[in-house]
Structure 1
Amino acid sequence: MKSKYVMLASAMLISVATFAQKDQIKAAEKAFKGGNSQEAVTILQGAESVMANATDAEKAQFFFVQGNSLLDLANKKVDTDKNLSLAAKSFQDLIAVEKASEKLKYSTQAATSVAEIKYKLINNAIEDSKVDKHAESAKKLYDAYLLDKKDTINLYYAASTYVNAKEYTTAFKLYDELKNLNYSGKGVLYMAVNKMSGEENSYATAQERDRYVKIGTHEKPRTEVIPSKRGEIYKNMALILVEQGKTEEAKKSISDARKANPDDTSLTLTEANLYLETKDFDTYKKLIAEVLEKSPNDPDLVFNLGVLSYNAKNNADAEKYYLRAIQIKPDYVNAYLNLAILKLDADKKLFDEIQKLGNSEKDNKRYEVLKKQREVVFKDALPFLEKATELDPANKEVKSTLLSVYRALEMTDKAKELKAKM
């Protein structure tokens, strides 16, 4: 008989707890609807301990009210990062509960809220990066990826941003995840200029873009090929391994990647860059020759060879590759710009020496020599800067550099004409 009383007492306790948690969820919902989200969160915290015994419907309602309350607090800028993360977890728990029970009451609204949180995290991450808060930015991008693992671009950006934050171990872990997913990031963007805003918009398909062009809201359609990011991923993984003293492991990693992706020339360039970094020039030259043999008329490839050479302080080869890229593609604006930068590099040394000169007769004579040498440098860079400005008139940085060169060469009329267009 005694055991019956114990069982009855236990049943009564569960019943009382069930009523209590229902009342708490209702009270929290009322607080949320009344605009007091913090009170709603506090009420629900008191109910968490008994939610294990709740029905699936009650759990779903609990997570729904909790997620909405936390998201509302984040929108009101109350512990934004923390509450966005907690809200996302609540909505994900809700979706999991309803999927298991096959009773979908709140899941559609929850999925919409998860998407909202994802884009808030991405936008907040962009703002963090602008003020050099790279670690915070990277975490938000990774959280955005966890909310929607189909959108792997956020995992890629998170890894890259962890590199900017110098958190190399975490960056390597994320790059390794991208590697295991066989992520390339290769694709095509269909662009058109919005006539109202003047900004260029991108579309997933040519049909979607062409529809806007046809109805007259957009103009200047163009197609942009997004190159594979595998090379950059493996390059950064290799550089991290080299930084950790694991050079041979880095070489093996890229070699394995090339075997798995034999047609991805970006990986060959990455391997060449690694051998360049480790001063194995023979292997570097062999790999470069291999790349050129495969695609001798690929302007992007030839341009990248120029970048590699420039970074290795081999300006003669860099100039050769940039000029070859222009020969293949005469409107290659970045090749003109990089040629100008390469030429202007010589001015830094001359300018630094001028700054150290005094007012003696000897110094004045030296100044005249250096001044003439600087004029030669500016004249060498001038045609490349002018062409880059012609091809990309919206580039303010190029215009500013060209204006400085005009002034240094005392080309007053040209300077006035350019200044009027800025």
Structure 2
Amino acid sequence: MSAASPASFTSLGLSEFLLSTLTELGYEQPTPVQTQAIPVVLRGGDVVAAAQTGSGKTAAFSLPLLQTISTNPTSSRRAVRALVLVPTRELAMQVGDAIRAYAQNLPEAVKVVTVFGGVSINPQMLSLRGSADILVATPGRLLDLADKNAVSLTSLETLVLDEADRMLDLGFADELEAVLKLLPNKRQNLLFSATFPEGVKELTRNLLHNPTEIEVKVESSIPEQVQQRAIEVDRDKRTSLLKHLIKEEGWSRVIVFVASKRGVNNVTMKLSRAGIKAEALHGDLTQTARKEALANFKAKKFKVLVATDLAARGIDIANLPCVVNYDLPRSPADYVHRIGRTGRAGESGVALSFIDHENDAHFKLIEKRTRQQLPREEVKGFERSPYAPVELLDKPKGPVKGKRKSKKDKLREAAAKEQQGK
């Protein structure tokens, strides 16, 4: 199925409350996956979508879910109405934050709860008292909560599997099977996956009923006039390097992209303390505050705008000389979107990315997907240590999935014990 994006979100059948929120967040036009998925989800149909991270899929399933939940209240006080399963805690937090941002103007409050492993389960159990309209979860922690009778999924209306291929790659097949046994047979199913290996195809066959199939290819074109630079630096030296570059390079203005709202606030505070005029832009700010920050930045009343991806969508600043990826984006598509803030309308621009030991492999993936390889630089006085931090070497490669061990974990333990016995 393919279709051209309409001029606005209005034609997709979304409510005026959601449309006003999209306008506030700077969403000007729906992406192809949103154009194709939103009307189908609103009708209650199943969807299977091949869509890379960064293609707009979170809004593609969140907006129609929010509209359905807000316009069709339920009498059940303990019902989880929609479950969004994701592979990692980072994605769980990001999806939860996005859904809350989209829901901010709805006339009736929609309760969104995010749960994941690697942290204490007790606060999450408390947050689920009275249940939740939308629950965003990693599979292992969801099963832990179900074992403790902290959550009931018997009245679930919609299941979303986000990044299904990554879930299977990371060893969640057994957990997924266990979760599915907790759900009612009659429900809407929405499956999003960047690739469709055999495991995902099997899920599709078993889960979905006459699904609408969507395939989206993300454009990765980078303007030639944008000079890309990759600077190697230790993670704890990034702020010092940022301050140094801002003072030495003489940029009139710069947008600094940071992964989280807390990170945005911290970087903004540290720059301000160093005498560099900076303001924050993220989803927790009011619409008035966001508009004022953007207007003042365009008017050159301060030099540095520190922003998250969610708040930065739709930013159009004429003659912006530089953007900095303080944190790398999650996807190649987001990388292209970020650096496209500079070098607009034929103007030249610079896009810097800080590469520490932890995100080295991720930047190589971005290079591979955007079909380029950038030379690594170092700035004198801020050289990256040749050795990765000990905590990074000890860090598990997969996500923390709660108390349950995956099949891969069990096989590794068995192999280790066998080796010790020799």
TM-score category, normalised to shorter length: under 0.3
Structure richer in helix, relative to its length: 1
Structure richer in strand, relative to its length: 2
For CA contacts below 8 A with separation 6 or more, give which structure has more relative contact order.
2
